């Protein structure tokens, strides 16, 4: 697609509104899943997953896999979630 064709496509209201709507929904979908996955990764103290989820943009696919599959697995070098240290730092 040439730049002129793209400009004509975006100037046409019958195509620009649906394209913008689809883009907006895709961004909203991705941000929601990314926020949930980042929150879960921080709660699980999983620095590698947190950085990976923060940098890689997969339109929610990696985030959904982390939320429903990887975050429920054991973490922290073989310790189960119940055996993890408490979130409060020692005093």
**Structure pTM?**
0.60
pLDDT digits (tens, 9 = 90+) for 28-68: 999 999 999 999 999 999 899 899 888 888 888 888 888 88
Token code pair at residue 75: 């973490």
pLDDT-derived band of residue 86, with 50, 70 and 90 as boundaries? low
Q: Encode 8-68 in three state secondary structure.
A: HHHHCHHHHHHHHHHHHHHHHHHHHHHHHHHHHHHHCCCHHHHHHHHHCCCCCHHHHHHHH
φ, ψ of residue 75 to 5 degrees: the values are -140, -175
User: How far is it, in rounded angstroms, from Cα 21 to Cα 18?
Assistant: 5
CB of 41 closer than 8 Å to CB of 28: no
């Amino acid at each position: 697609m040439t730049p002129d064709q793209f400009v004509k496509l975006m100037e046409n209201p019958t195509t620009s509104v649906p394209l913008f709507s689809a883009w907006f929904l895709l961004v909203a979908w991705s941000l929601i899943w990314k926020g949930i996955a980042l929150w879960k990764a921080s709660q699980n103290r999983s620095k590698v997953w947190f950085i990976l989820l923060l940098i890689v943009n997969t339109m929610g696919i990696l985030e959904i896999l982390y939320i429903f599959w990887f975050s429920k697995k054991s973490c922290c070098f073989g310790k189960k979630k119940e055996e993890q240290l408490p979130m409060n730092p020692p005093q």
